[in-house]
Structures are given as C-alpha cells and as structure tokens.
Structure 1
Amino acid sequence: MTHGLWHITREVGELTLSRQLPARFDVVASTTLPEGDPLRLAHQIRQDMWRMLKRVRGFSPVVQLTREGDMIRIKAGGRVAAPVAPGLSAKIAALLACPAHRARWVAQAKRSQRRLK
C-alpha cells in the first residue's frame, strides 16, 4: 500500500514505512517505545529523522515497527546512495534516545486507537 509517496508494508505484528521498495537499511539504529498507532509513530519518527539528515546525499528514510508484547521495537535508518558517513548511525540513535522527541512521538501515537496486529 502506498500513502502519498510512501510505501507502507504490513505483515503480522510489523509495519514498514519506506520511500522505495524493497526497504533497505544501509544505516540503522533501534529503540523501543510503548504501543500506540504504528502509522502515526512511523511518520513522526521519519519526519524528525529526515529533518536531521536531509543534507545527507542520497538518504531515503525507512522506519520499521515490530510488536513485542505491549512495546514496539523501532528500527530507523534507511538507504544511502553515497558511502555512509561515519557516525550516521550514532546520530539516528541519538534522535531515538532524545526524551523530548520520544515524549512527542508517544503522545501522537496514543491519539489513535489503531495498534499493530
């Protein structure tokens, strides 16, 4: 399924949001968050990651959410057309660990009743 220019791939207990198919992680970081609307959560993380990395040549964000009990495992990163710059995964990990971003993402995801099935 596409949403605008984004591909949304759903499998049991998993959602992947990517610009291109197949989704590819040349650079990646992960974290967990409380359960909420997976599509809202994926888009919020994708937007913040894009704002931070939009100057990285050839970067195309990918966010994958996997249900783990009452938590969601988030794998964020994406495809990079050019050689991967050192420290890019660390920048994404820092974004995923940022308390202000995490609080906003969780608040937005809780506004809906949709869940990963």
Structure 2
Amino acid sequence: MKRRWHITSQDGTVTLARQLPARFDVAARADLPPGRPLRLAHQIRQDLWRVMRNVRGFSPVVRLAPTGTGWAVTAGGRAIGRISADTEATIEALLNDTTKRARWVAQARMTS
C-alpha cells in the first residue's frame, strides 16, 4: 500500500505533509500541551482538511516543534489557487477552538 503522508522529523520537530517539500502558503500558529506528536498532527490535519477542503488545490501541512510546555503547532499548507484574506483567520480559529483542542489533546495523551 502506498504511503499517503510524508512524516519528517528533525531535532524533535515533526512535520506531516501530503507533498514534499512541505510548504506553507498560508499558516497559523498555536501552542498545545504535551502529547504524542504524530497523533496530534493527524488529528489537527483531519480538522484542517475539513475547514479548507473548498480551497482549490489545498494540501495540509502540520508542524509540531517542542517547547518547554508542549508543542508549538504551525498548521496550514499549500494551495494552487488564490488564498483569500480570511483563510489564515479560519485556520487560527480552528487552532483555538476549545472543543477541538480538547479532543486533539485527549487523543494524543501520553499513556504510561
């Protein structure tokens, strides 16, 4: 079976992208508490795709960089067409949605 997502890791930073090289034509940033990075990235990517699926040629990219308190998340991606002025605000709203954040963190919770 063909691998669908590219996962790169360097110095603790994990990037999940559909296409390489990973490129952010549009992006927003947020901080999340600790958790399994790949699980977090996939959860965020799924919701990102749901809100961005009508953007022509959009391909999601999620990058998680370690911080002292968890993860600095950059979410966005590449697009073939024009990116409207409110696209970044849409991604930012997604990253700050308390219900989605709680679900992402719960799904990525570290187990002992």
For the aligned pair, the TM-score class normalised by the smaller chain equals over 0.9
Q: 1:100 maps to which residue?
A: 99
User: Secondary structure of 2:31's partner?
Assistant: strand
Partner Cα separation in structure 1 for residue 63 and residue 95 of structure 2: 13
TM-score, structure 1 normalization: 0.91
For 1:73, give the aligned amino acid: A
Instruction: Percent identity, please.
Output: 54
Structure 1 position 4, deviation (Å): 2.8
8 A Cα contact 1:28 1:78, kept in partner: yes
Aligned pair 1:5/2:4, yes or no? yes
**Across the two proteins, how many residue pairs are aligned to each other?**
111
Deviation track 1:15-38 (CA, whole Å, cap 9, x = no partner) reads 000001000000000000001000
**Runs of 4+ displaced beyond 2 Å:** none
Cα distance 1:39–1:84, how it changes in 2: closer, same or farther (>3 A)?
A: same
User: Secondary structure of 2:24's partner?
Assistant: coil
User: Secondary structure of 1:17's partner?
Assistant: strand
Task: Kindly report which structure 2 residues correspond to 1:1-117, keeping only aligned pairs within 5 A, or say none.
Answer: 4-112=3-111
TM-score, structure 2 normalization: 0.94
Partner Cα separation in structure 1 for residue 94 and residue 26 of structure 2: 14
Structure 1 position 111, deviation (Å): 5.0
For 1:30, give the aligned amino acid: R
Structure 1, unaligned stretches of length 5 or more?
A: none
Partner Cα separation in structure 1 for residue 108 and residue 75 of structure 2: 16
User: Secondary structure of 2:6's partner?
Assistant: strand
Partner Cα separation in structure 2 for residue 6 and residue 66 of structure 1: 18
8 A Cα contact 1:23 1:62, kept in partner: yes
Deviation track 1:63-83 (CA, whole Å, cap 9, x = no partner) reads 000001131000000001111
Structure 2, unaligned stretches of length 5 or more?
A: none
Give RMSD over aligned pairs: 1.3
Structure 1 position 85, deviation (Å): 1.3
